[in-house]
Amino acid sequence: MAFLTRVWTFWRRAPLALQALILTATLGLLVWTASGYLYAHDLTRVFERRLGDQAMAQSRRDWAVFDRRLRTYHQAAVLFADREAVHDYLASTSWQGALAPAAPVLYHDLPPPWLPSPAVMGAVARPEYAMLVDQHGRVRELYVGRAAAPPPALVAIDQRLLRLSQGQTYLTSLDGQPYLVSSAPVDQGRAVPEAFLVLASPLDGSFLRNLEENEPSGDILALLSPDGRRILVSGRPATLPSNTLVSGLGNRYLLVDQGPIHAGASGLTAHFATLYSTTETRRLIGRVMAHERGQRLLTALAFVVAFGLLLLWTTYRIRFMSLRVGEFSRRLGLSQLSGGGGDELQGLERKFQHLMEQVVHETSSLEHQTLHDALTNLPNRILLYDRLEHAVLSGQRDKRPFGLLMMDLDRFKEINDTLGHHIGDQMLKQVAQRLLGVLRTTDTVARLGGDEFAVLLPAAAQDHSMQLARKIADAIDQPFSVEGHNLSVGISIGIVHFPVHGNDANTLLQRADIAMYMAKRLDSGFAIYDPGQDQHSVERIALMSDLRESIQKGELELYFQPEFCMKTGRVLRAEALLRWSHPRFGQIPPDDFIHIAEQTGLIKPLTVWVLDNALRQCTRWVQEGMDLDVAVNLSVRNLQDPKMADVIDQLLRKWQLPPRRLIVEVTESAIMSDPGNVRENLLRLNAIGVRSCVDDFGTGYSSLAYLKQLPLNEIKIDKSFVMEMVRNDNDAVIVRATIDLAHNLGLGVVAEGVELREVWEVLEILGCDVAQGNYLGIPLPAADFIGWLSVAKLNPLVSNLIRARARSGP
């Protein structure tokens, strides 16, 4: 008891810094001990949860890659079997239709002619074995590549397996080994197939390891027995050999079972699973905890020492700060606070509270002076701009319009110069009062300086802004009585509206000022902003005038880009592309001046100029012995013109050019903007013999119904899909589906944007008809294009195509 009494006495007499240090050290020790246990528990739980989430997400990705690889086998079999090279090869073989049962199987170590190149084949699928099977189910030729000898059951493939593997990727067991098998008939539209092309790969560790290499993540892919208790195959057989029991893995691996593999309808069932090693995770947790405990102990000791020093320094600073607060108050001329008792902290707190109250009072007064006009007490330009920015943000968020009025007094300068600034100031005060009397409480009226005012009208329609402008003009028109003087002034008001006239504060203020000076010039009282008053519109008007002159003087220029036939490698035609190099504004983008032409009615003479020059150039090609057609783009305005078909017919007659030499290209958006007129014009052009093509196909939101309703000959796939198809599976699927759709409807297909050789090769496999892109040929002026045509045979892709076809034969 006596000990506790002595401790309490010591505690009461101890300095504030020492008391805080003892309390902090005691509390810190308790917190450190408790937090150690909590941290260890939470860290383990977080690691385990993150490991589980990571393993689940990775397993789903692994399953997606595995499933996609299974599906590509059937797609590859169909694509490879449908190649023209397969039919040509079969026609040259001696075994087709043979009945000799002992015909030897021809083995290939390198890809035979009936298979694509390794690069193209690897981009679609990677089969270990590929076979040609004759009409009677006998294997005639077998490609093994770098794989081991095929199992006998594969070489002696039976009719049942051949039938089940058609139309799907079929999972089966060959000589005790899981295999993927997919076949496709080589029929070329015949009722009885000429042969069957079969792709097969063992579903073994090598297969799974290839998938792991494509998706490197440190996990192990495996196939489990139907009951999920035993590993059939793993991507790392040295670590997890076949027939390993899942129960024997313990906690060394986290296993995520994605369920049975659905491939075919055989009795062979296996589960796909991902095994994620937990050894590294447990080791990492142990290292983190050991390292963290040492760090926390050192941190706690350092904290206690630093806190003790900080308390000593803080005690000194509190005393010093209390003196500085008093000195600061004296310098500002603020009242002093004396007395009150308590310790240093309580005294400092009272002084700060007193100082804060006085500073807030003084600051509010200064802020009001900063944001308000000293003469009229109205908001000034700074406050108006701030509220205008808030109104813009609110309007963008809530889709709510508002108005802005800019005002300037007329004849005020004469009053100021004649009667003096004192009378002018009094008059400005009365103007401010009249404006406040007209406006709503939610409106903001501000004085911008001199005799300029502005009004912000939140949530106001344009009609309301005009009505308010009339009320303001009527109020200001009434005479002012200032110290015995009867004075009259007018007012000019510029009106802008959000978002019609601008989407930001600076633009609205600038255009309101333009409208105000227009009202002053016209002496109309008020005026709404007109884009024609803007310098940008002046340049636009200049472009309109210059475009008309350029059309009349023939200052525009046509460029031509070649389009190649994918079957022969020959240049079929050239697309005419319009260019305008302005002497003042430089190269004008076609979209800009074509838009101007559509708005000003110049689109018809511009289109006639393009058609006339394109047909003239095509005639020259034909006369020089070049079998080339020309493609020209038509806008929606052209297709709405009922006389456009007659104009094209007259130009064809003028140049004595067969109508089939001309292809008109129309975008999806143009078709859907006015389907009726577009269909009528395309029907008339079709009757003449002019061909038509849908440009930029796939970028719009139109219905596919127009493909069968309109007299179309081709569709041109947008380059955004073609350029990325070798790197993006989704784009490749879109291109393949578009080609199939067009061919089923009897339409040709043009692929725009061929920038790589690989794109050409894949397009050729998919059966595309025509290709266009900078890899094949860039747009050139007419003279340069003719020169390019004379050496087009030096184009690397065309030369390679010619040599490849010469080797493959007819």
Q: Is 551 helix (H, G, I), strand (E, B) or coil?
A: helix
Does residue 11 lie in a domain region? no
What does the pLDDT read at residue 802?
A: 46
Q: In the listed set 525, 547, 568, which residue is the last one of a domain according to the structure?
A: 525
What does the pLDDT read at residue 488?
A: 86
Does 201 share its domain with 255?
A: yes
Helix (H) or strand (E) holding 106: strand 106-108
Q: Do the Cβ atoms of 184 and 197 come closer than 8 Å? A: yes
Q: Which of 260-264, 479-483, 556-560 has the lowest mean pLDDT?
A: 260-264
DSSP strand pairing (139-143 vs 106-108): parallel
CA 694 – CA 82 distance, rounded (Å): 27
CA 112 – CA 106 distance, rounded (Å): 10
Q: Report the number of distinct structural domains present in the chain.
A: 4
**Per-residue pLDDT at 763 exceeds 80:** yes
What does the pLDDT read at residue 713?
A: 94
Does 410 share its domain with 520?
A: yes
Does 365 share its domain with 403?
A: no
Does 361 share its domain with 467?
A: no
Q: Do the Cβ atoms of 70 and 263 come closer than 8 Å? A: yes
DSSP characters over 252-287: SEEEEEEEE---SS-S---EEEEEEE-HHHHHHHHH
What does the pLDDT read at residue 219?
A: 76
What does the pLDDT read at residue 5?
A: 77
Does 613 share its domain with 759?
A: yes
Q: Name the nearest CA neighbour of 443 among 492, 399, 388, 491.
A: 388
Q: Name the nearest CA neighbour of 573 among 695, 661, 451.
A: 661
Q: Which of 143-147, 440-444, 700-704 has the lowest mean pLDDT?
A: 700-704
pLDDT digits (tens, 9 = 90+) for 332-364: 666 666 655 545 565 667 667 766 767 776 677
Q: What angle do CA 66, 71, 76 make, to 5 degrees?
A: 120
pLDDT digits (tens, 9 = 90+) for 267-319: 567 787 887 777 767 777 777 777 777 777 777 777 777 777 777 777 777 77
Structure tokens at 407: 């005002």
pTM across the whole model: 0.41
Percent of the chain with pLDDT over 90: 23
DSSP strand pairing (748-752 vs 714-717): parallel
Does 404 share its domain with 501?
A: yes
Structure tokens at 423: 């009378």
Average pLDDT, the chain: 81
CA 434 – CA 799 distance, rounded (Å): 85
Using 50, 70 and 90 to split pLDDT, how confident is the model at 555? confident
**Per-residue pLDDT at 252 exceeds 80:** no
Paired strand residues for 195? 186
Does 358 share its domain with 472?
A: no
Using 50, 70 and 90 to split pLDDT, how confident is the model at 767? very high
CA 438 – CA 309 distance, rounded (Å): 67
**Per-residue pLDDT at 809 exceeds 50:** no
What does the pLDDT read at residue 794?
A: 46
What does the pLDDT read at residue 525?
A: 84
**Per-residue pLDDT at 146 exceeds 80:** no
DSSP structural state of residue 135: T
Percent of the chain with pLDDT over 70: 85
Q: CATH number of the domain that 183 lies in?
A: 3.30.450.220
What does the pLDDT read at residue 576?
A: 96
pLDDT digits (tens, 9 = 90+) for 41-96: 777 777 777 777 777 777 788 777 777 777 888 888 888 888 888 888 888 887 76
Domain that holds residue 477: 381-525
Does residue 661 lie in a domain region? yes
CA 682 – CA 704 distance, rounded (Å): 17
φ and ψ at 150, to 5 degrees? -70, 155
What does the pLDDT read at residue 83?
A: 85
Does residue 589 lie in a domain region? no
Does 137 share its domain with 211?
A: yes
pLDDT digits (tens, 9 = 90+) for 666-720: 987 778 767 888 889 999 999 999 999 998 887 655 556 677 788 999 999 999 8
What does the pLDDT read at residue 806?
A: 47
What does the pLDDT read at residue 672?
A: 74
Tell me what the mean pLDDT of segment 397-423 comes to.
86
Does residue 248 lie in a domain region? yes
**E strand map for 190-324:** 195-202, 220-224, 231-234, 253-260, 271-277
Does 392 share its domain with 362?
A: no
CA 631 – CA 779 distance, rounded (Å): 13
Does 363 share its domain with 429?
A: no
Q: CATH number of the domain that 404 lies in?
A: 3.30.70.270
Does 104 share its domain with 138?
A: yes
CA 528 – CA 213 distance, rounded (Å): 67
Length of the chain in terms of residues written? 810
Q: CATH number of the domain that 710 lies in?
A: 3.20.20.450
The residues, any chain, with a CB within 8 Å of residue 679's CB and separated by 6 or more, are 706, 709, 710
Q: Name the nearest CA neighbour of 747 among 772, 720, 702, 716.
A: 716
What does the pLDDT read at residue 239?
A: 75
Does residue 98 lie in a domain region? yes
Does 607 share its domain with 649?
A: yes
Does residue 363 lie in a domain region? yes
Structure tokens at 109: 């170590």
Report H helices in 601-728: 603-623, 636-640, 644-654, 668-673, 675-688, 706-709, 719-722
Does residue 783 lie in a domain region? yes
CA 358 – CA 513 distance, rounded (Å): 42
Tell me what the mean pLDDT of segment 404-433 comes to.
87
Does residue 242 lie in a domain region? yes
Tell me what the mean pLDDT of segment 388-395 comes to.
91
Sign of CA dihedral 228, 232, 233, 236: positive
